[in-house]
Amino acid sequence: MRYARPNNAEELKATIRATWALITPEQCHRLIDSMPRRIAAVIQAKGAPTKRDDFNKVQDLKDNPIRSQIVEAFFDRRNFQKDGVGSMEEIGFEEFLTVMSYFRAPALHTTEEQREEIRRAKLRFLFNMHDTDNDGTITLEEYRHVVEELLSRSGSLGKETAKGIADAAMLEVASISVGHMAPDEFYEGITFEDFLKILKELEIETRMNIRFLNMDTTVLCK
């Protein structure tokens, strides 16, 4: 399980199910021991699925400048189905897993198409995070908002600076994606295709990933 490198969300789920069967009795005992504490937590949450508030309770997340965008991504329907619209109020484990699966590491042997597919999926996730009104483009307002939040904690940079940086970045995107613009042209925002183009060199498939599987279970089940 630890070294499994699933290629897509389905495989990941299958692997998880397989691992489920491998959980040792000791682990179960430890889990049982920690049961009272966790039951208390569930009671506190009134047994409901995960809500936004639950994310806001995560201690380390408090200092994250783009917390709201990240949390929102967990409730964004677009990340669960291809043509989902709007956001959910609460999510279950299945949804949580789906969002997490966007952060899986690439497998050792992937074909070019698989890589491209993973890349698109990951970028789509990022794109959705920026494109809050789901109109297929990241408009200047949306982008400014993200940049402002992003820089809001870096101390010396004021709001105006953030705005300036966002504008400059937008301009860059415009010049990259459209090229030479005619005088009366109007760049209304970054489309997903542009997004793919500008982040071509980011090698996202090798960077947007997190190590989940070899985590120390003792930390979780204390």
Interface of this chain with another protein, residues 195 to 214, rule: CB under 8 A: 198-203, 206-212
Q: Among candidates 49, 52, 43, 125, which has minimal Cα distance to 93?
A: 49
Q: Which of residues 11-40 bind another protein (CB under 8 A)?
A: none
CA angle 86, 135, 176 (to 5 degrees): 135
Q: Which residues of 182-215 are buried (b: 16+ CB within 10 A; e: fewer)?
A: eeeeebebbbbebbbeeeeeeebbeebeeeebee
Shortest Å, Cβ 13 to another protein: 16
Question: Does residue 184 belong to the site contacting another protein (CB under 8 A)?
Answer: yes
Total residues binding another protein (CB under 8 A): 71
Q: Which of 21, 43, 85, 108 binds another protein (CB under 8 A)?
A: 108
Q: Which of residues 138-167 bind another protein (CB under 8 A)?
A: 140, 146-147, 150-151, 154-158, 160-161, 163-167
Q: Which of 60, 83, 89, 112 binds another protein (CB under 8 A)?
A: 60
C-beta of 121 vs 140, nearer to another protein: 140
* Pairwise CA distance, residues 145 & 141, whole Å: 6
First-residue to last-residue Cα distance in the chain: 22
